[in-house]
């Protein structure tokens, strides 16, 4: 008997349509498709032989767009799975048709057509689809989303009122992205990524909850300040401490609890922004110098060295990799 098609789901539609599958390998194929798209989910019970589903995903740099149409099924993510996945993610999901029930922690959430729901990868979660469902999801790193929230806040799963201004904009944004699934250009990806994060954060204010630890609140406040000053080449630990009314020693202790130094955290954020800027830049002339100076680097040679150490390519090599169709004479 032919094995189920468990190759990774890509941009084109993946489907369960196959007369060669029985219940067992149809369930295995669907479970693998869910894992390819939505992190480490497992089915609670096998799907029937009449089960049908279509799913596709579109990476948008660090975030991902997933569109799914499926019949009745149920699945879960338990704590052992959430603990092993590393960086936590947030799913922002709209329901185009049908309905779904979530059990997130101690709460039960039922959603239907037109609803907008947030879920995350650090809480144990179950879902149950009772009838044919059409949903579209944006999956993004929790750290990127929460960096846009008020200090000391995190996001819990729940339904957001789509009638709010931010909720209506986010719903329309996700629906529009799905309608342009195959038409999104590489040059648009970085702008779409950040606009999605900003809209997600604006909507998530209705679901944010405070951290318990005051030190985490202080750390988040410093991180938010640093993000606003990343383009300032004069940013230093002394300036961070002075502008926030705390001691340099306390700044060091807060970031030490994260397992990194302040300088390492700043460098990582700057390199991330530089990578995005290189990917979005269409003209290669002077690109390394322009991007380096834009994000607080005063020395292009130093910038090139640390960029290569972090990403395995020089800035120019990365730009050429992300713009293979461009053949422009480069002058630094």
Give the pTM: 0.69
Beta strands in the chain (DSSP E): 14-15, 42-43, 53-60, 63-70, 73-77, 89-97, 99-104, 107-112, 116-120, 125-129, 133-141, 153-155, 158-160, 208-210
163 plus 231 within the same structural domain? no
Last residue of a domain, one of 210, 232, 265: 210
269 plus 185 within the same structural domain? no
182 in a structural domain = yes
**Could you give the number of structural domains in the chain?**
2
CA atoms of 62 and 189, how far apart (whole Å): 10
36 plus 149 within the same structural domain? yes
Grade residue 63 by pLDDT with cuts at 50, 70 and 90: very high
Of 231, 81, 79, 209, the closest CA to residue 157 belongs to 209
173 plus 304 within the same structural domain? no
167 plus 41 within the same structural domain? yes
279 plus 300 within the same structural domain? yes
183 plus 73 within the same structural domain? yes
Lowest-confidence pick of 18-27, 51-60, 61-70, 250-259: 18-27
φ, ψ (nearest 5 deg) of residue 247: -85, 155
pLDDT at residue 303 tops 90: yes
CA atoms of 284 and 265, how far apart (whole Å): 28
95 plus 222 within the same structural domain? no
CA atoms of 230 and 222, how far apart (whole Å): 12
Last residue of a domain, one of 169, 193, 210: 210
pLDDT at residue 210 tops 60: no
Terminal C-alpha separation, the chain: 59
Q: What is the pLDDT of residue 11?
A: 61
Q: What is the pLDDT of residue 84?
A: 52
* Residues 86-112 pLDDT 10s: 678 899 999 999 999 998 877 898 999
* Residues 242-254 pLDDT 10s: 998 888 998 998 8
Last residue of a domain, one of 210, 244, 270: 210
328 in a structural domain = no
* Position with higher pLDDT, 230 vs 147: 230
Q: What CATH number has the domain bearing residue 222?
A: 1.10.10.60
Please give the C-alpha separations between residue 170 and each of 92, 113, 141, 164, 231, in angstroms, as whole numbers.
9, 15, 17, 10, 28
226 plus 201 within the same structural domain? no
Question: Structural domain of residue 242, as residue ranges?
Answer: 214-322
CB < 8 Å & 24+ apart, contacts of 194-197: 194/276, 196/60, 196/63, 196/138, 196/140, 197/63, 197/140, 197/144, 197/145, 197/148
């Amino acid at each position: 008997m032919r094995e189920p098609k468990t190759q990774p789901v890509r941009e084109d539609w993946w489907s369960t349509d196959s007369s060669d599958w029985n219940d067992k390998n149809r369930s295995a194929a669907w479970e693998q498709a869910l894992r390819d798209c939505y992190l480490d989910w497992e089915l609670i019970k096998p799907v029937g032989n009449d089960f049908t589903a279509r799913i596709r995903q579109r990476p948008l740099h660090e975030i991902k767009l997933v569109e799914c149409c499926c019949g009745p099924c149920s699945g879960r993510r338990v704590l052992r799975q959430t603990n092993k996945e590393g960086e936590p993610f947030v799913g922002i999901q709209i329901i185009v048709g049908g309905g779904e029930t979530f059990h997130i922690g101690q709460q039960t959430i039922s959603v239907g057509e037109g609803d907008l729901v947030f879920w995350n990868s650090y809480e144990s979660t179950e879902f149950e689809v009772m009838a044919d469902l059409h949903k579209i999801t944006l999956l993004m790193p929790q750290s990127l989303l929460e960096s846009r929230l008020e200090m000391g806040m995190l996001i819990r799963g729940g339904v957001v009122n789509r009638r709010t201004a931010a909720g209506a904009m986010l719903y329309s944004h996700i629906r529009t992205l799905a309608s342009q699934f195959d038409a999104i250009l590489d040059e648009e990806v970085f702008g779409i990524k950040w606009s999605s994060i900003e809209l997600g954060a604006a909507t998530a204010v209705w679901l944010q909850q405070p951290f318990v630890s005051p030190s985490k609140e202080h750390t988040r406040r410093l991180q938010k300040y640093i993000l606003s000053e990343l383009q300032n080449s004069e940013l230093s630990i002394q300036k961070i401490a002075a502008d926030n009314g705390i001691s340099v020693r306390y700044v060091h202790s807060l970031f030490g609890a994260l397992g990194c130094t302040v300088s390492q955290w700043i460098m990582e954020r700057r390199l991330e922004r530089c990578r995005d800027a290189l990917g979005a830049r269409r003209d290669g002339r002077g690109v390394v110098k322009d991007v380096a100076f834009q994000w607080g680097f005063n020395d292009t040679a130093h910038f090139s060295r640390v960029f290569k150490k972090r990403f395995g390519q020089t800035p120019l090599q990365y730009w050429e990799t992300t713009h293979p169709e461009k053949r422009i004479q480069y002058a630094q």
